[in-house]
Amino acid sequence: MFKPVKLSENIYYIGVNDRRTALFENMWPLPRGVAYNSYLIVDEKTTLIDTVEAGHAGKWLKKIQSIIDDKPIDYLVVNHMEPDHSGAINILRQLYPNIEIIGNKKTIPMIEGFYGITDNMKTINEGDTIDLGIHSLSFYTIPMVHWPESMVCFENTQKTLFSSDAFGSFGTLDGGIFDTEINIDYFEDEMRRYYSNIVGKYGNPVQKALSKLNGLDISTIAPSHGPIFKDNIQKVINWYDKWSQYIGEEGVVIAYASMYGNTEEMADVIARSIAENGIKNIRVYDVSKTHSSYILSDIFKYKGLILGSPTYSNELHPNMEALAMKLSHIGLSNHYFGTFGSFTWAGAAVKKLIETAENLKLEIIGEPVEEKQGLKKDKYEACIELGKVMAEKLKADRN
Ligand code: FEO
């Protein structure tokens, strides 16, 4: 019935695709779905690496049983407790009551807290190795990539890193599971969107994790979402290195809120000026239309950021306020920042956007532009100047 997918002899991919869930964490859109990856090592000690989201346990168990039939499973390694990976633990325990759960000292209390499980658990420490027979697993904690208990394990004979959320992507695995079987460019955007939405706040912990794993001789990266990497290992490590330092490439995201089109008009004038001054990557978003998931992803991609908002009840437009708050939560850094906006009787939005940028210690570029009511000549020219200054700043980095 099920043709097993092998990473190597006796190591299997047993993940599942989710094309039904609309929002990951009930927040982030999944137009291309998401895969919950899980792995099975068949050895003297048969071992599972993570489970899947609870609603997908049926098809996952079918894959397991098609490989090991009615044999027992000795260990479940819980690399990460977020329920997209741990959700099927109780279902698994009902079928395999003697299974021993392996986690670190932060995982174990979470398993009790989430699932009420207190027995058959084994605590491992940083650097510990467990022999499974021919295979062996060594454990490394990567706190805050994505939760405090997050860890990875490294299978020593096949040099396979089970990397948990790290290097994971949104998007289902539509036939191709390994990077050798797919066009990896398709997944770059979805990996950056996953990174920026889910892990983006934790740049420093990601840098520490990359340093820690730097000494491993990795031949395969097997994440908990998205493709498995064999040919593009250095490429995805480089992506993570860049994103975790908030290093953007040449380009500008202009995100604005607009009720009646005045702020939008300013956005288009600024965008045109940036283009006329030689920058080719310009992405303009209406925050009331495009979900912040995609805007954040492009903000991580490009070095320049310009935010615009009308003043709404002496505050930011609420949809721009939500984006600004997300940027604050993430702790965005290392970007050039400009701002603009409009108001009808008293301006406040631009001041609030500048406060956001100052709190994040972003480099503010050009003069903020704030217009009263419709766009007129002086502020039109100020928008052109803001675009020009941003473009010149980006071009200066070419050298
Ligand atoms: Fe894929 Fe942090 O869970």
| 188 and 316 together in one domain | no
Ligand 1 closest atom vs CA 198: 2
Nearest to 220 by CA among 153, 174, 171: 153
Number of domains making up the chain:
2
CA 247 to centroid of ligand 1, rounded, Å: 23
pLDDT in tens, 114-123: 999 999 999 9
Q: What is the pLDDT of residues 273-325, one digit of tens each?
A: 999 999 999 999 999 999 999 999 999 999 999 999 999 999 999 999 999 99
Residue whose tokens read 């860049």: 242
Q: Which residues pair with 229 in a beta bridge?
A: 221
pTM assigned to the model: 0.96
Judge if 272 and 139 occupy the same domain. Answer: no
Name all residues whose Cβ lies below 6 A of ligand 1: 80, 82, 84-85, 146, 165, 224-225
31 and 137 inside one domain: yes
Residues 219 and 298 in one domain: no
207 & 301 share domain: no
Domain final residue pick, 195, 214, 244: 244
Domain stops at, among 186, 213, 244: 244
3 state SS of 30: coil
User: For position 268, which CATH number holds?
Assistant: 3.40.50.360
Domain that holds residue 278: 249-396
Which CATH number fits the domain that encloses residue 188?
3.60.15.10
Exposure letters 100-122 (e unless 16+ CB within 10 A, then b): bbbbbebbbebbeeebeeeeebe
Residue pair 306/276 in contact (Cβ under 8 Å)? The answer is no
179 and 319 co-located in one domain: no
Cα 153 to ligand 1 centre (Å)? 16
Tens-place pLDDT, residues 125-157: 999 999 999 999 999 999 999 999 999 999 999
Distance between Cα 84 and ligand 1 center (Å): 6
> Do residues 218 and 97 both lie within one domain?
yes
Q: How far apart are CA 62 and CA 1, in angstroms?
A: 9
Q: What is the DSSP letter of 329?
A: H
Looking at the structure, tell me whether residues 232 and 307 fall in a common domain: no
Per-residue model confidence as pLDDT tens digits over 169-212: 999 999 999 999 999 988 999 999 999 999 999 999 999 999 99
Which residue, judged by its Cα, is nearest atom 1 of ligand 1? 165
**Hey, what are 49's tokens?**
């690496």
Q: Tell me the DSSP string of 43-100.
A: SSS-EEE----GGGHHHHHHHHHHHHTT----EEE-S--SHHHHTTHHHHHHH-TTPE
Same domain? 238 vs 354 = no
Decide which of 244, 272, 306 is a domain's last residue: 244
Q: Which atom of ligand 1 is nearest to the CA of 168?
A: 1
pLDDT at 1: 66
Q: How far is the CA of 25 from the centre of ligand 1 (A)?
A: 9
CA atoms in the 13 A half-sphere facing the CB of 342: 23
Res 90: pLDDT: 96
Ligand 1 atom 3: the closest Cα is on which residue? 82
**CA–centroid distance, residue 191 to ligand 1 (Å):** 13
User: Are 90 and 142 in a shared domain?
Assistant: yes
CA distance 101 to 112: 11
Same domain (yes/no): 275, 308: yes
